[in-house]
Chain A
Amino acid sequence: MNGSIMPFAIFFASIFTGNILLTNYLGMCSFLSVSKELKTSTGLGVAVIFVMATTTPLNWLVYQYLLIPFGLEYLRFIVFIIVIAAFVQLTEMTIERYSEPLYQSLGIFLPLITVNCAILGVSLFMVIREYTFLTSFLFGLGSGIGWFIAIIAMAGIRQKLKNAKVPPGLEGPGITLIIAGFMAMAFMGFSGMIAIS
């Protein structure tokens, strides 16, 4: 273990202690607006898992085999976002064509995802932290799952909250952010879970 980063530690850390939404605030926009309903949240969450787990290794390949050999690392922002947008578009078209039910449950969320900062964020983190291919994949997958857990937990809480009395100024985003704060604290509590020798 000495001298290397443990891929599985990263996988678990990206789900719990380093949850991309709760510690890096990435993907807040769609989180705040979509977490009103459990059903939509689940759909979007699954779509995020899928896109993160696929675009992160894809961007890794593009970065290692296209950008670095040509010395174009500084263009990575543009290239990554184009890769993500193109991939999302392709997947949407494929699903629409071959599976109507899947499109109804997942496909309609895909366009929302291109503008989700968490997706680009994961790719950028992956580059800065110099991950290997496997680690990138696990990091993307873990971050996706972490985002999914956070949004369905929030949607569940918000549904219970519908009948609660909330001060008028706190309704909507205000109370959501406060709950997110508590969730962030709770998720930090996971940090004792994996032991490092």
Chain B
Amino acid sequence: MKAKATFYKKRIYPLVFMFAVTVFCILITSGLYLTTQDRAIANELSFTRRAILDAGGLAYTPTTEGIEKAYLEKVTVEDGYYTAQSSDGLRYILPVQGPGLWGTIAIMVGFEQDLSTFSGLAIVSQNETPGLGARIEEPWFTKQFQGKSSPFIFVNEGTAQAPNEIDAITGATRTSEYFRNLTNRAATDAKRIIRGE
């Protein structure tokens, strides 16, 4: 009897206990995941839509509803790109992605009608080093592209003046180089995809 009891205590009980804890934990997390799944998907959609609006330089109220309303009103989906009617004329918005230092950087680039002047730029996703490369997501950086046209030259942070110069990010040489390549490619891609050149 005693041997049986220790066997139970030593082998069976820990297993049963672990199993119970695992099942319980997974039930809780799964339940929560399933209940919030729709919301997470909606967020993702709203995020992409906002990037499109930002790139096109279109005005919107920064709430989920505001984004949806502005998007549905102004943006048309074309084959591989988007067009939008802004207050200063037609905008072409193109999703572009390319390598960053650590992972893929995905951006939305908005063009004015000449397809070389940027109307805006928004980051969809990036995985660069926090505090260094990840600063490409900061508004001061993305705003620089507005009204400028490619090919861009990246210069030291805080010294950009000419209409094709962009402030690079100090300490993130690599990310800046990748980003320069990406934005310059965006302009050629735009002409190819939209005009078929």
Contacts and interface: CB of A to CB of B under 8 A. Distances in A.
Contacts of A24: 129-130
A5 B174 contact: no
A6 interface: yes
Nearest to B101: A13
A38 B158 CA distance: 43
B104 A17 contact: no
B152 interface: no
Interface of A: 2-6, 9-10, 13, 17-18, 23-24, 74-75, 78, 125, 128-131, 188, 191-192, 194, 196
Contacts of B103: 5, 128-131
Given A23-B132, A74-B29, A74-B33, A125 B177 contact: no
A130 B126 CA distance: 11
Interface residues of B, number: 24
Interface of B: 25-26, 29, 33, 98-104, 127, 129-132, 171-174, 177-178, 181, 185
B25 A18 contact: no
B104 A75 contact: no
Given A5-B99, A128-B127, 16 more contacts: A2-B98, A4-B99, A5-B102, A5-B103, A10-B101, A18-B101, A24-B130, A75-B29, A78-B25, A125-B127, A130-B103, A188-B171, A191-B172, A191-B174, A194-B174, A196-B174
A191 B173 contact: yes
Contacts of A10: 101-102
B17 to A, nearest CB: 16
B171 A13 contact: no
B26 A3 contact: no
Given A23-B132, A74-B29, A129-B103, A3 B174 contact: no
Contact of B99 (A6, A17, A74, A78): A6
Contacts of B129: 18, 23-24
A5 B128 CA distance: 13
B132 A129 contact: no
Best-buried of B26, B33, B99 by chain A (most CB within 10 Å)? B99
B102 A3 contact: no
Contacts of B29: 74-75
Nearest to B26: A75
Given A23-B129, A75-B29, A78-B25, A130 B99 contact: no
